Amino acid sequence: MSTDKVRPTKLKFKGEKTRKKRRRDDEEGGSSKHRRVEEDDNPETWVMPETPAEIRGPTFMIHPSDPSPISVNFDSTRNRIILHPLDKESTSEAPSLLDRVPTEVAQVWVTTRVAGSPTINLRTGTGEGKFLSCDKHGIVSADREARGPEEEWTPIILPDGMIAFMNVYENYLSVDEVAGGALQLRGDSEEVGFRERFWVKIQNKYKKEAHEEKKKREDGSELTVVDEASVNRLHQAWGAGRSVTSSEDKKELKRAQKEGRLAEVLLDRRSKLKSDRFC
């Protein structure tokens, strides 16, 4: 009988560190807690936003319809919005509504926003990337390649965590039943009711990104003010980054600062020095 050891068949790269096997917890509570921590650390985990600023990146929208919840899909083949039931057959094994995650690309929209604006734009994740829009008659479509006022939506976080979307006409996005029992999106509801409430999920990394930006703004570490002197010294000065000023220049700048026309004098001086080709 051979005494040679059985060599592992798993592919390993040179220099790769071996990972220790995690000891399985005997108690169910400990393992579930560890699983939740792993899900929180996973950037691809789908979570619910707590503030409107967190709604960004890939977005999954669900409406709690009965008997089956529906997701807002975009059919790139027919170039139209589809309200797709998540449960084709009512079974007891179906996951809870808050545990739902997208299973196909058609269910995912991409949320973008202009920096500092409370409104968002919802773009299709498939096809050519058309924007979700609503005209003054309440007709919702996704066939526009450019974004304008009708493509802007204001997300409103409701007390129960659900979200309502208000358009530029101050009406709300809703699910409406048309002839034949079919469902479609409308944008002419004046009040928020059951039809105007959606569950929204985003990816965890974008939620953390929003938290980091908020923390930077609160700490004041975000560079909102440009130091003109340091920029000039770095990009426009000559002689190994040396700023050359005469005593007359200093007197003129001090006089302009007292008179309240410092910016005008700095612009004239920059033009004379020819250190700014756009001046």
pLDDT tens per residue, range 67-81: 789 999 999 888 899
Residue found by looking up tokens 């929208």 in the block? 61
Local structure of 155: helix, strand or coil: strand
Vertex 210: Cα angle to 206 and 213 (nearest 5): 135
Token pair recorded at residue 150: 């009708």
Q: Taking the CB of residue 58, how many other CB atoms lie within 10 A of it?
A: 19
- Chain CA centroid to CA 6, Å: 50
Does 94 have pLDDT greater than 90?
Answer: no
Does 157 have pLDDT greater than 70?
Answer: yes
Does 223 have pLDDT greater than 50?
Answer: no
Q: Global pTM? A: 0.64
CA 203, 209, 212, 217 torsion: positive or negative?
Answer: negative
Q: What is the dihedral of CA 65, 70, 73, 77, to 10 degrees?
A: -110
pLDDT tens per residue, range 18-65: 655 555 544 455 555 555 555 556 888 999 999 999 999 999 999 998
The answer to whether 140 touches 186, Cβ cutoff 8 Å, is yes
**Separation between Cα atoms, residue 51 and residue 59, nearest integer Å:** 14
Kindly tell me the burial class for residue 5, based on how many C-beta atoms sit within 10 Å of its own C-beta (0-12, 13-18, 19 or more): exposed
